Structure formats: structure tokens, C-alpha cells
Amino acid sequence: MRTSSLLAASFAAAFFAAVPARAFDGETVTVIPGMNGDQAPSLSIGGNPDAGMFDVTGRPLAADPAAATPLEAFDLARNAYRSGDKEKALSALQFAAGRGHAGATWMLGRMYAEGDGVTHDDRKAFEYFRDLVNRATNEGAEESFEDRSNAPYISNALVWLGSYYLEGIPGSSIKPNPAAAIRLFTDAASNYGDPNAQYNLARIYLDGNGVKKDPGQAVRWLNLAAKKNHGPSRALLGHMMFRGEVVKRQPARGLMLMMLARQSAEQSGAADAQWMIDLHEKAQQEASEDERRSATSFLDGWLKARSSN
């Protein structure tokens, strides 16, 4: 997957806060765990990075990753990353990943996929994501609490792998394989409820990429993802409702969804989220005064209902 086609917000701000995504032109979206809040495992960092290294319980970490447990090495990596020492972070992540730490394996895949602190290498990223998914599959159904806490990493790795198979990796043995991509996205969408996978499946069924076009299936996946506050899904579903494409025309409700998508795009500050802002802007210009007024009324009602829950 070419990183130039991904949307990336500030990756270092919260260590796992990058938000790569695809645009409205029919490409797929890849977003990391934590974009939707309740999907993310706890990633808080204990202690002050400038005052020494501590794990989430406040215990001092070993200064040498090789003398630490996998969890301690992972915490050391996060502290080193936040302090700007990506070389040290890389070393600690490699140690932790080599001993089966899911978060470290996922983070290494992300770093190589984004070229963050390392030379961009999609093949290496693919291998880390594949290793994470294979390990989770081989561990079987007997999940401990710790295993369940790894679900966001596994789910997101499935989405990355699906995106790689959808496009292929130039110069490698990974060729475009829409069938494999659909299987991976379906696993993440159905078994993990991943909204990015759900959005990707919607795009695939709308475009007929590797499957027969199925607009009804696409709308189903978009609805599921939109209910999880997924911006791209809200924008696309809102656009379809406003236009009356595939679904019955409901311009006011479509505008409301695009308003919500625009808010998330503006909050992300990501350049590749601009399409959601542009989509809403165009619809606003085309909408009648009554449609705009009704959309605002729907949004007010939605916000009130949300605040009361």
C-alpha cells in the first residue's frame, strides 16, 4: 500500500494517534485503534518521560530493553518514542515483538508502513501485520482478558492486510487479490466490529471490486460503521441519502450525517479528510433553505439525545 494515498494526522502526539484514511474516490480506509475511543486498549503512559522510565503501575523500567519483560519493553518504547528517541523505541519494540507482544508487533508494522523512524517498507509492514494475525489465529478460541485487550491491534492489522491485498505491494510477491482482501475485511468487520473494515467492504460492494455489485450490502455496512461515529461512512452514507443514490432520498438526514462527518474531519486536521468537508460544502450549496433548516433541527435532536444517554 502506498503511503502517499493514506491520510495521516499527527502520529507522535499521543503515540498511537495517527489516523490514515482513504479518500472518497473509491479507495479504502485504514485507521488505527483508538480513533473511535471505545475500540482502543489503554495506552496511558505512567510517569514523566523526562524523569525516568516507568510502566503503567509506576514501577521503574529497566534502562536496557533486553533486561525487561515484553510489557516493560513496550512501555519503554512508548516513552522513548514520545521523547523523540525513535531508535531506542525501535529496539525496545523489536524485543517486545520478538516475545509475542501484540501491541509492539502492531506498532512496528505501523512504523514501517508510514516510514516513521524507519525506512518506509511495505513488505516489512505486511510481515509484522501478518505475524500478529497468524499468532492470534494460532492461539485459538481460549482468550484471556489480556488477549481480548489485544483485539484492536488484531482488528487493525486485518484492515492493513486487506488494504495491501486490495492493491498489492509493487516489487513483491504480494499481488492484488480482492478475494483475500474481502475475507480479511469481513473478519475485522464481522468478528471485531471494525468500522474501517465495514467502510472498506461498503466501497468494495459499491464498486464491484472482486465481487458482484451489491448496493444493499454496501448500505448495510455503511450504516453499521456510521453508528460507530465513523466519519468517512457518515460522509458517504449522507451523500447517498442526500442524492437519493441507492437509498431513498432523505436530503435533510443526509445533510446531518455530512455535518457530523465534517466535524470529525475538521477535528482531525488531516489533509486527506478534506473530501468530507468539500462534500458537505457542495451539498449545503445545493440544498434548499428548508432542507438546511431541517438538517440543523435533526442535528440538534441527535445531540440532545446523545447528551441525555
Domains of the chain (ranges, CATH numbers) = 3-227 (1.25.40.10), 229-309 (no CATH)
* Residue 44: other Cβ atoms inside 10 A: 7
Cα separation, 47 vs 80, whole angstroms: 12
Nearest to 132 by CA among 156, 105, 104: 105
Q: List the alpha helices (DSSP H) in 42-85.
A: 70-82
Cell of 35: 480513533
Cβ proximity of 110 and 81 under 8 Å: no
Would you give per-residue pLDDT tens digits along the chain (309 residues)? Answer: 433 332 222 233 334 433 333 333 334 444 433 333 333 332 222 233 333 444 434 444 555 656 678 888 999 999 999 999 999 999 999 999 999 999 999 999 999 999 999 999 999 999 999 999 999 888 654 444 345 788 999 999 999 999 999 999 999 999 999 999 999 999 999 999 999 999 999 999 999 998 999 999 999 999 999 999 999 999 999 999 999 989 999 999 999 999 999 999 999 888 889 999 999 999 999 999 999 999 999 999 888 888 776
The whole-number pLDDT of residue 302 equals: 86
Nearest to 16 by CA among 33, 3, 4: 33
41 three-state secondary structure: coil
Q: Helix crossing, 251-268 with 231-243: angle to 10°?
A: 150
The CA–CA distances, whole Å, from 126 to 133, 140, 291 equal 11, 22, 46
Q: List the alpha helices (DSSP H) in 227-288.
A: 231-243, 251-268, 274-286
Cα separation, 51 vs 200, whole angstroms: 43
CB-facing half-sphere around the CA of 149: CA atoms within 13 A: 8
Cα separation, 196 vs 193, whole angstroms: 9
pTM reported for the whole predicted model: 0.79
The whole-number pLDDT of residue 30 equals: 47
The whole-number pLDDT of residue 272 equals: 87
The whole-number pLDDT of residue 137 equals: 82
The whole-number pLDDT of residue 136 equals: 87
The DSSP letter of residue 24 is T
* Residue 190: other Cβ atoms inside 10 A: 14
Q: Which residues pair with 54 in a beta bridge?
A: 60
